[in-house]
Amino acid sequence: RQKLHLSQQKNEQLVSTLQEAKAQIEALRKEVDKLTAPPSTFAVFYNTNADGTVNVSLGGRKLRVNLHPSIPPESLKKGQEVILNEGLNVIESRGYDPQGEIAHLKHLLDDGRAVVSLRLDDERVVEISDSLKQQTLSVGDHLLFEPRSGYLIEKLPKGEM
C-alpha cells in the first residue's frame, strides 16, 4: 500500500512537471512564431468602397485592399495610418503620422481639398484629413503635410515655426 501511495505521489509530481514544461514550450513556440512572422507594412487610409474593401496609400501607390472583419469601416478616418499584413490586408488602425513637411495654407477649395504652399513656393492641391476637417483653418496656417499620401494631417502652432 505504501508503495502504491509513493507511486501515486511520484506520478502527480511528474504530471505537474510535464504540465509546466508544456506551458513553457507553448510560450516559447508563441515567441518563436512572433519573431519569425513577416514584418507589417504601414499605409495611409483613403476611403471605403461599397464592396467592403478600402483604398489605402502605400509608399505613394494607391491600393484597394480588404479590411479585417474586426475593424468597423466607419472607425477609419481619412489620412490615418493603418497596418497591413503580408497579404496587404488592413489588420489594425493607428493614429496619424506625426512626421511630414510643413505646408502653408493658401486657399480652401469647396470640395474639401486645399491649395498649399510647400518649400520654394511649390504649390499643391491636397486632401484634408478627417481630423483636420474638425478644426477652423485660415489662410497662412502652418499645417503638417504627409507627402506620400497627399494629406494635410495637423494644424501646427505658428509660434514653433
What is the tens place of the pLDDT at every residue in 69-90?
999 999 999 999 999 999 999 9
| Pairwise CA distance, residues 84 & 51, whole Å | 19
Same domain assignment for residues 30 and 61: no
Residue-range definition of the domain harbouring residue 152: 101-160
Cell reading at 72: 468597423
Range in 36-40, 41-45, 102-106, 149-153 with the lowest mean pLDDT:
36-40
Please tell me whether residues 115 and 86 are part of one structural domain. no
- Residue 160: the pLDDT is 52
Same domain, 82 and 114: no
Residue 70: count other Cβ atoms within 10 Å of its Cβ: 7
94: Cβ contacts below 8 Å, ≥ 6 apart: 42, 80, 81, 82, 83
Task: Decide if 58 contacts 83 (C-beta within 8 A).
Answer: no
Q: What pLDDT score was predicted for residue 1?
A: 76
Helices (H), 37-157: 130-133
pLDDT digits (tens, 9 = 90+) for 8-62: 999 999 999 999 999 999 999 999 988 888 889 999 999 999 999 999 999 889 9
CATH number at residue 46: 2.40.50.140
The runs of H, that is alpha helices, within the chain are 2-36, 130-133
Answer for the pair 97, 154: CB distance below 8 angstroms, yes or no.
no
70 and 48 assigned to the same domain: yes
Is residue 31 domain-shared with residue 52, that is, in the same domain?
Answer: no
Specify whether 49 is located in the same domain as 7: no
pLDDT digits (tens, 9 = 90+) for 113-134: 999 999 888 999 999 999 899 8
Q: Are residues 143 and 120 in the same domain?
A: yes
Q: How many domains would you assign to the chain?
A: 3
